[in-house]
């Protein structure tokens, strides 16, 4: 690990002040310290935001709930209000990492966690995300865990997390404080980026910005499922995951929202899928149509080709379970 200067502000204004000068924020540290040990991240100044507050879960005026950026994943998943009214979020968080890691991992840090691409984590290998312009080693290399949607030759990495996938399905909003007390909100669906020409940028945060919290809109009820397919049944990242919030009325789907994890540089959400499901009667043909919409532009890079049929089977299984269809 490279030497750094350690700072611990006691409030948000102070934190963004420090952050503005190119410092790196540390929350739970479970991703950042891992990468600092590998010298993938080499901050000169580390700003420890664990004592600036932002650690509460509070109802919003509109029937929603606001989760502070420093709320731990464990606290969030165990919160009785989240469990009762936004169970999809509890499910997704509980499907990730381990009890120890969830105790440290925070809402803000989890959203900003970096890819698990092997080459990104190995400073001896070319990687456009770590060192723009050096090339992508995964494109023609080991890419079992890589993206099949929205990627290009610049970078085929995935956003690997679970929590955010549920937040995409629930249409959450990320609240961000900037330097000089500026603040803004971004729909979580617009928070992460596709690689495009700037694979080094994972999300839309600007220098000096701090995530202060995530707001979930009022509960949508219905059936909420998080299905995670992985190499072992616990304590492993997803190969493919699906968050589904779906409501049935009189034999038809009255509301649906689906999001897909570990398939792209960001959790994947396609409005056409939600629209195709809404108002329709569950059937195998409908579920195949949804899989077609999801995968029409899917592209494998060799080792990850299997993700395409896997995603098809998984989305159909999730839809069968969520609608109670016997097809």
Partner 1 sequence: MKLAINGTTQGFEGDPRTSLLDFLRRDCGLTGTKKGCDHGQCGACTVLVNGQRINSCLTLAVMHEDDEITTIEGLGTPQDMHPLQAAFVDHDGYQCGYCTPGQICSAKAMLDEAQAGWPSAVTGDLTAEAELTPEEIRERMSGNLCRCGAYSNIVDAITQVKEDAR
Ligand X SMILES: Cc1cc2nc3c(=O)[nH]c(=O)nc-3n(C[C@H](O)[C@H](O)[C@H](O)COP(=O)(O)OP(=O)(O)OC[C@H]3O[C@@H](n4cnc5c(N)ncnc54)[C@H](O)[C@@H]3O)c2cc1C
In the complex, the residues that contact partner 1 under the rule CB under 8 A are 1, 3-6, 8, 26, 28-30, 33-34, 37, 46, 48, 50, 74, 77-78, 80, 83-84, 87, 90-91, 94-95, 97-101, 103-104, 234-235
Site string for ligand SF4, 123-152 (x = CB under 6 A): ----xxx------xxx--------------
Q: How far is Cα of residue 60 from the mean position of the Cα atoms in its chain?
A: 22
267 binds ligand X (CB under 6 A): no
User: Binds 129, which of ligand SF4, partner 1, ligand X, none (CB < 5 to 8 A, cut-off by type)?
Assistant: ligand SF4
Euclidean distance between CA atoms 77 and 75, whole angstroms: 6
> Quick one: 113 or 304, whose CB is closer to ligand X?
113
User: Binds 48, which of ligand SF4, ligand X, partner 1, none (CB < 5 to 8 A, cut-off by type)?
Assistant: partner 1
36 binds ligand X (CB under 6 A): no
Euclidean distance between CA atoms 264 and 151, whole angstroms: 7
- On the 0-12 / 13-18 / 19+ scale of CB atoms within 10 A, 310 is middle
Query: Least CB distance from residue 236 to partner 1, whole Å?
Result: 9
Query: Least CB distance from residue 125 to ligand SF4, whole Å?
Result: 7
119 binds ligand SF4 (CB under 6 A): yes
- Kindly provide the b/e burial profile for residues 204-239, where b requires at least 16 CB atoms within 10 angstroms of the residue's own CB: ebeebbbbbbbbbeebbebbbbbbbbeeeeeeebbb
Considering only CA atoms, which of 36, 150, 125, 149 is closest in space to residue 138?
Answer: 125
β pairing state of 24-26 and 45-48: parallel
Site string for ligand X, 158-197 (x = CB under 6 A): ---xxx----------------------------------
Q: Any residues with CB less than 8 A from the CB of 46 and at least 6 apart, and which? A: 4, 5, 6, 7, 23, 24, 26
Angle at which helix 307-323 crosses helix 284-295, to 10 degrees, equals 140
Query: Least CB distance from residue 34 to ligand X, whole Å?
Result: 5
Binding residues for ligand SF4 restricted to 176-205, rule: CB under 6 A: 199
DSSP code string of 239-291: SEEEEEEEEEETTEEEEEEEEEESSSSS-B--HHHHHHHTTPPP-HHHHHHHH
Query: Least CB distance from residue 133 to ligand SF4, whole Å?
Result: 10
Query: Least CB distance from residue 318 to ligand X, whole Å?
Result: 18
> Quick one: 84 or 275, whose CB is closer to partner 1?
84
Strand partners, 257: 245
Euclidean distance between CA atoms 158 and 90, whole angstroms: 22
Would you tell me which residues interact with ligand SF4 (CB under 6 A)? 115, 117, 119-120, 127-129, 136-138, 155-157, 199
Would you tell me which residues interact with ligand X (CB under 6 A)? 24-32, 34, 69, 96-97, 101, 104-106, 108-110, 112-113, 161-163, 205, 210-211, 237
């Amino acid at each position: 690990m490279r030497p750094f200067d350690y700072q611990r502000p006691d409030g948000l204004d102070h934190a963004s002040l420090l952050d503005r000068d190119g410092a790196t924020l540390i929350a739970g540290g479970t991703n950042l310290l891992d990468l600092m040990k590998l010298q993938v991240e080499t901050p000169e100044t580390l700003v420890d935001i664990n004592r600036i507050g932002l650690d509460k879960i509070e109802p919003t005026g509109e029937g929603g709930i606001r989760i502070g950026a420093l709320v731990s994943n464990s606290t969030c998943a165990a919160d009785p209000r989240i469990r009762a009214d936004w169970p999809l979020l509890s499910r997704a968080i509980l499907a990730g990492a381990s009890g120890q890691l969830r105790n440290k991992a925070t809402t803000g840090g989890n959203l900003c966690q970096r890819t698990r691409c092997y080459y990104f984590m190995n400073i001896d290998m070319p990687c456009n995300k770590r060192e723009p312009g050096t090339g992508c080693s995964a494109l023609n290399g080991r890419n079992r865990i890589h993206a099949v949607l929205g990627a290009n030759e610049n970078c085929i990495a995935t956003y690997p997390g679970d929590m955010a996938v549920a937040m995409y399905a629930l249409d959450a909003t990320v609240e961000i404080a900037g330097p000089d007390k500026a603040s803004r909100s971004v729909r979580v669906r617009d928070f992460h980026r596709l690689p495009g020409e700037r694979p080094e940028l994972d999300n839309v945060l600007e220098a000096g910005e701090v995530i202060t919290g995530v707001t979930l809109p009022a509960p949508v009820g219905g059936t909420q499922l998080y299905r995670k397919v992985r190499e072992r049944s616990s304590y492993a990242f997803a190969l493919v995951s699906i968050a589904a919030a779906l409501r049935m009325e009189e034999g038809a789907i009255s509301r649906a929202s689906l999001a897909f994890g570990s398939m792209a540089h960001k959790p994947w959400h396609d409005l056409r899928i939600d629209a195709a499901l809404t108002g329709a009667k569950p059937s195998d043909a409908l579920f195949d149509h949804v899989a077609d919409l999801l995968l029409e532009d899917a592209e494998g890079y060799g080792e990850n080709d299997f993700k395409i049929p896997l995603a098809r089977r998984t989305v159909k299984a999730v839809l069968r379970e969520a609608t109670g269809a016997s097809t």
